[in-house]
Amino acid sequence: MGILNVTPDSFSDGGRYADAEAALAHGLRLIAAGADILDVGGESTRPGAERVDPSTEQERVLPVVSALAALGATVSIDTMNASTAVAAVRAGARIVNDVSGGLADPELLPAVAAENAEVVLGHWRGPSSDMYARAEYADVTRETIGELIARMEAAAAAGIPPSRVVLDPGIGFGKRGSQNWDVLRGLPQLVGVGPRVLVGTSRKRFLAEILGAEADGEAATEARRDLATAVTSALAARAGVWGVRVHDVAATRDALRVVEAWEGS
């Protein structure tokens, strides 16, 4: 899953693809590099980010979703808003990727059910503006899985069967550095729950922390984070996940090819 942020303020690439023409061109580059799905987002969920009005979000994403879908791309809409989810699906998106797992907008899960779309349910304990205030766990892996199962049950109650659900452990969301590693080590347990699993580690702070890369220049930090992302994505693949969400598709594809060769598949 290639990340396509149509935002001015995303933590890594905010502003690079903020207009529809630049976003479409980048989406085509991601497909050429091997992306199977393009995840289009119009609202930053970086730590400390404030919410964006749905009308502004839709102005950003709908032209891009429509253009990419018309070209045959499989498009996911990264949104926490039911109205944006519906508009994007009608514009051609096939998946709704909600980092809040349906908690931010109680109308989102019924809307997804009505549109017969697939949904990614992220593990979430509150808005980006204060997500780390809720990063208290007795057992982060067990609690993350338990809370995701609860969101899966809420989706089923809204009319979305597990076959149309993807679970995302929310790496970096409401989790501090070492807690993210605990959750990644527990991926086989999450995969065992049943639905497909999506993992997104791309360029996140916890990677820079273990690399000591935060003191590097911006370009060097991004390159080192991309390498670390490719490694974690390859390990996630070995743990049985369905998908990985990344900025640098080419590097991750290379890492996945190495895993396939290693395993003889």
| Residues tagged active-site | 204, 245
DSSP 172: T
166's enclosing H/E stretch is strand 165-168
Return the ∠ at Cα 180 (arms to 160 and 166), rounded to 5°.
15
DSSP state letters, 3-62: EEE--S--TTTTTTT-SHHHHHHHHHHHHHHT-S-EEEESS--STTPPP--HHHHHHHHH
Strand partners, 198: 243
For residue 1, the 8-state DSSP code is -
Q: In sequence order, which residues have a C-beta less than 8 Å from that of residue 184 and are 6 or more positions away?
A: 169, 171, 199, 201, 232, 235, 236
> For residue 225, how many other CB atoms are within 10 A of its CB?
24
Beta bridge partners of 150: none
Distance of CA 166 to the CA centre of its chain: 11
Of 153, 156, 89, 152, the residue nearest 121 (C-alpha): 152
